[in-house]
Structure formats: C-alpha cells, structure tokens
Chains A and B, each alone.
Chain A
Amino acid sequence: MNKRNSSARFEIIRTAVAVAIAMLVAVVIIFSVSEEPVNALYNFIIGPFTSLRRIGNVIEMACPFIFTALAVCVMFQANQFSMIAEGSFFFGALCAAVAAIKLPEITGLSPIIALLIGTVAGGILGAIPGFFKAKWKTDEFVISLMLNYVALYFSLYLMNLLIRDASAGSKVSEKFQDSFQLINLIPGTRVHMGVILSILMIIIVYVFLYHNRWGYQLRMAGCNIKFAQYSGINTFAVILGSQIIGGCIAGLGGAVEMLGIYNRFQWTSLPNYGFDGITVAIIAKKSPKLVPIAALFLAYLRIGADIMSRSSDVPSEVISVIQSLVIVLIAANSFLSGFRHRMLVKESMKKPMVEGGNEA
C-alpha cells in the first residue's frame, strides 16, 4: 500500500512539474515576442476568471475535450492507437445536425434522438479501423488518420447535399429546429445540458473500465495481448469493441457540441478536438477520473490564450507549444526518474523504522 501511494504521489508530482515547465516555457516565449508581456501574461493567466461569461467559456470548452479524451482513454487503455476521435467527432456532429434539421420534432425526445444518431455515426466510423485491425492486423494508426480526412470531406459533401442553406453567402447549413437544441443551464453563458452528459459519461466510462468484466478484459488485453489471448479473452472483440466505444463517445461529443453551442453546422475543417483529447487523456494518465481536471485545465489554457491574443500581440497558438511539451514530458519515462529513485529509497529506509517502532 505504501509503495503504491508513493508511486501515485510521484506520478502526480511528475505531471505537475511537467505542466509547470511547459507553462514556464510559454511565459518565456511570451516575454520574448511581446511588447507588452505583463499585459499579455495577465490576460493569459487571470483573464479566464474575470467574468462569469469567461468561466462559462472554460466549462463549455472543456465539454468536448472530456468526450474525446474519454474516447481516447478507452482506446489507449486497450492499446489501440486509433486517432479516429477526430473524425468521429466531426461525423457525429454532422449527423446530429442533419437530424436536427430534417427529422420531425417530438416533444422531449428530439435532442435525445439526434444525440443517439451522432453516437451511432461516430461508432460506425470507429468500427472501420477496429475491424481492419482485428481481422487483418492493419495498422489502425495510419488508417484512422486517413479516415479522419475521409470523414471531413464526406461530411462536408453530405452537408452540401442535404442541409446547406442556399440563401447564405458562406458554406453553412440551415438553422436547427429549436426543440433539438440542448437546454442552457446557466443564463449569461453558453453552458448547456451537455456538461451534465459529459459528467455522466465520465462515470459510465469509469465504471465500465474498472468495475466491469468487459472493462477488465479490455485493460488486460491492452497490457499484454498475448497473455489475454492465452487466458481465453476474445481479443478480436476487445480490439474491435474498444474502437467502436471510442468512436461512439467521440461521436456523441460531436453531437453534443453541435447542438449545445451552435445553431447551424458551420465547420469547414477538422476542429482538432480529437488531438486535444489525446493531450487531455495523457495529462489524465488515461484515467477517466482525472479527465475532467485535465480537460478543464486545457480549456482554461485555451480560453486564456484566446483572451490574450485578442487583447495583446501574442497569437493564441502559443498553446500548441505548451501542449506538445506536456505530452512529451509526461510520456518521458526517464523524466525525473532520478528523483523517483531517491524517493523510493527514502521510502524503503523509513519503512523498517516505522515497523520497528510499532513492535516496541
């Protein structure tokens, strides 16, 4: 127990140090490129807390991150490096948008149906690389990346074909029917029902992964697929299932984002939430419990950077530096390993003394 505690503590310290180093680098960059670094930094760090609206912005931005990060958690825990969260998110959003424009309104049920359609759409897309991998050992990484582009262009094609608003100057869809939009929770912000759904989803994924036979099989196959095979686990089902689940969660996320934030479909390129989901999942150590914290943190950085770029001369893309540094530092096994070693030595030196004290 003691050893487990100290190693968990070490992981938290390591993540915190990684984040701190990345932030420090960002500060250095801001100071070196900006003519008004103090103003820029103030807006970046404090900006997101200065009004209810901005706090709302952080929460509503964390919502899609939570969905894509959960999708990534499930797939990465099964050791499936599928990047399909990006494509599933987009395709799910488009399908929900089509439903919200074309389907007849049913009181109370409308948004649920649209969300389900988005979920299924995302799942179907996620199943493609999963099935190829399970059946023919096709590399899911490259296939899913290619499918993201296919999903993008196919969705845009469907948008054009089915729901495009011909009277609008730009490429946008018609407006969604009102009953399909997710209910707003906090007036004065755009925080919507989807936030509650995302919390629900965290609980579901946590229970699925850690308190369920399938989830256990999934994680075991992720740790060692040969061992799982020999102990009679259906690895075909794990490989395919984990990627379908991942696709479904990301698709639902896309649908929630579309119906919660927008009133018409207006994306023309991939919004990158899938890759942000990877960042969040890695900060959260692939654990659903930690996903909301990591998602809120990334959303805070994003909103901060956004406010900074609007009120100073530093572009918001400085975030990508932070993001990539955090991924690398957390993924680096030998980062702070000397520190870990010393901590373990200290721990083991302490242990016999405590035990001796108890006996005396």
Chain B
Amino acid sequence: MILEIIGTTSFWYAVLRVSTPIIFASLAAIVSNKAGVVNIGIEGTMLISSLIGVLISAFTQNVLVGVLAGILAGVLAALILAYCALHLKTDITLTGIALNLFASGGTIFLLYLVTGDKGMSGSLKSLVVPTVHIPVIKDIPVLGEIISGHNLLTYLAFLCVFLTFVLLYKLPVGLRIRAVGESEGAVASVGLNVIRIRCIALILSGIFSGLGGIFMSMGYVSWFSKDMIAGRGFIALAAEAMGRGTPLGTLIASIVFGFADALSNYLQSLQVPAELVMMIPYVTTVVGLLIYSIKRNSKNKFKKEGKNESKINSYVN
C-alpha cells in the first residue's frame, strides 16, 4: 500500500512541496550555526513572517510587497535576537525560547486585533506566491510532473541551497562566518568584528526563516493559522545536524523529513489512524538524529578527542 503511494508522481511532487519550508529553515540553521550561534528562534521567526506576509499581502493586494514584508519581519526578529544575544549577552537558547513564546502569542494577538479571530486568517483576502511551469521540463513525462508546476518559492529554496554554498565557501564573508564559528578568538585577533559577523549571519538566518514562513502561509496554504509552523523550525535544527552543516547534506536531510511529512499527509486519507500518521515526521527526526549521533560517536572513539563533538556540545554550554 505504501509502495503504491510512493510509486506515484504526485507523491514525489508533494515531497518537494512539503520539503520547501524545511529547506529554508535548515538553511537558516546552517548559516547561524556556522557562525557559532544556535538559532532556536527559527520556529518563531517563521511564524511571525507567515503572519506578516498574509496581512501585508491582504492589505496591499500585492504579492511582492507581502513577501518582502515577511522577509523584513524575519530580519527584524533576527535583529532582536542578535541584540539580546550579542549585545545584552543573554543565553541564546533562552532567548530563542522567549522569541518562540513571543511569536506564538504575539501572532494570535495581532491576528485577533486585525480580524477578530484567534485561530485563522480566513476572512482576509491574502494572496499566494504564484506557481511556475518550467517550459521544456514540464513536457518530460515523469520528471515534468514532479519537478514542474511548483510554487516559485520551492525553486527559490533549491536556488538558495546553491547560493548558501557559494556564500559560505566561495565568498570572503562566508569565510569570516565560518571562522567566527570555529574560533572566535582567532577572528578577533586579526581585527575583525566578531559581533558584526555574527549579526550578519543571524540576519541571513532571519531572511531564510522568513522565506520559510512565507511559503507556509502564501504557498503551502493560502491563509495563516495559529502555530502553523508546527515544529518545522525545530526539525530544521535536526536536519542541519544530520547534514553536518553542509548545504548539500542538509538539503538531503530536509528532503528525508519532507518525505516523512508527505507520507503522513497521504496516509491520512487511508484507514490508518490519523494520530499515528501525524507522528511520522517527528519520529523520523528523532530516529534520524539518533542514527547520526551514534555514527558520529563511534567515529569519535577512533579519533578520541573528536572535533565534531564540540559543535553539538555548544548547545549545552
């Protein structure tokens, strides 16, 4: 039965569709983690952006303005996070938790003020980002049905994976971001501003989170509903860890989670209890992260004082 589902082209089309927000969010996680800042606020940032995108696009009736406003909201959230964590020197984990709390209640607050509804933005005539049919590819039998006809943001997500790779590994600013994450002291010793570099990384993280949030409310569905991100920002943190912080590895991990997500959407229409099906993406994340940790751990035993170890430990310290 599952094989039957996986065999259809519409399933793989759905995989790409539901992977999109996770790809954006995990890019946000990569950029900030590379700079040595674990951005737990991605979840909340996405939520804020998804609401702002809906509201602004509904009021201006202009998709582009809505998207830009959503991105701006993401950047703003990232700047608040950066100000607290880098300037006020708050614990980054707690600040992220605070941002998520703020986003969860604040979006409902704002939604209620605008629409009088605490659950959904259904009464607003918000817009969606258009879908695109790629000229030549759409005519290729199987591949065309899977790859063509997606939301513009889905293509942007894949493009962003490439851009992130270029940014991190080919551009000076990427080198600096990675250097700050590896050794803060070394960067400071050559006269670079550590805080500014981290701030840039967090702003980039905010842009990606914003795009992920916008896709949720202006592509995946055409409305905002409360807590609609449903842990995708956290799943992204797991994807980043499993992809070892590389854009390509993280992309693959994101698609694995997207696969689980799509499968759960498909199984819901069958006789399987909905509650069990809803668990699939989260269980996949736990199992995936676990396999990754076990593998890393056995590798580190050979290397004894493994370098990778310090990265995850930085969550704790």
Contacts and interface: CB of A to CB of B under 8 A. Distances in A.
Interface of A: 33, 79-81, 132, 136-139, 141-143, 145-147, 149-150, 153-154, 156-157, 160-161, 275, 278-279, 282, 315, 317-321, 323-325, 327-328, 331-335
B252 interface: no
Given A146-B238, A160-B273, A327-B95, 15 more contacts: A137-B296, A139-B289, A142-B285, A146-B234, A157-B275, A157-B276, A160-B275, A279-B101, A315-B113, A318-B105, A321-B102, A321-B105, A321-B106, A328-B98, A334-B87
A154 B282 CA distance: 11
B279 A275 contact: no
B244 to A, nearest CB: 14
17 contacts: A79-B316, A137-B313, A145-B231, A146-B231, A147-B286, A149-B231, A156-B275, A282-B94, A317-B109, A320-B105, A321-B102, A323-B102, A328-B88, A328-B94, A331-B91, A331-B94, A332-B84
Nearest to A272: B104
B98 A153 contact: no
A139 B312 contact: yes
B97 interface: yes
A228 to B, nearest CB: 13
Contact of A328 (B95, B282, B294): B95
B108 A317 contact: yes
Nearest to B99: A324
B118 A315 contact: yes
Contact of A335 (B88, B93, B104, B316): B88
B290 A332 contact: no
A324 B276 contact: no
A150 B286 contact: yes
B222 interface: no
Contact of A136 (B98, B105, B297): B297
Main secondary structure of the interface of B (DSSP, over half): helix
A139 B315 contact: yes
Interface residues of B, number: 50
B101 to A, nearest CB: 5
Contact of A33 (B95, B108, B113, B230): B113
B102 A153 contact: no
Nearest to A279: B101
B132 interface: no
B290 A150 contact: no
Contacts of B309: 137
A153 B278 contact: yes
Nearest to B287: A146
B94 A146 contact: no
B36 to A, nearest CB: 15
A317 B282 CA distance: 27
Given A153-B278, A315-B112, A315-B118, A136 B290 contact: yes
A149 B293 contact: no
Closest 7 pairs between A and B when the two form their complex, measured CB to CB: A320-B105, A324-B102, A157-B275, A332-B88, A324-B98, A327-B98, A317-B109
Interface in B259-317: 273, 275-276, 278-279, 282-283, 285-286, 289-290, 293-294, 296-297, 309, 312-313, 315-316
Contacts of A157: 273, 275-276, 279
Nearest to A323: B101
Contacts of B118: 315, 317
Contacts of A132: 290, 293
B68 interface: no
Interface hub of B104, B276, B278, B286 (most chain A Cβ within 10 A): B286
A141 B238 CA distance: 10
B25 interface: no
Given A81-B93, A143-B286, A145-B231, A136 B109 contact: no
Contacts of B105: 317-321, 323-324
A33 B112 CA distance: 11
Contacts of A320: 101-102, 104-106, 109
B129 interface: no
Contacts of B94: 282, 327-328, 331
B90 interface: yes
A76 to B, nearest CB: 10
B67 interface: no
Contact of B275 (A136, A153, A327, A328): A153
Interface string B11-24: 00000000000000
B91 A275 contact: no
Contacts of B97: 275, 278, 327
A261 to B, nearest CB: 22
A34 to B, nearest CB: 10
Given A136-B293, A320-B106, A333-B88, A141 B40 contact: yes
A156 B278 CA distance: 11
Contacts of B102: 320-321, 323-325
B128 interface: no
Contacts of B315: 81, 139, 141
Contacts of B279: 149-150, 153-154, 157
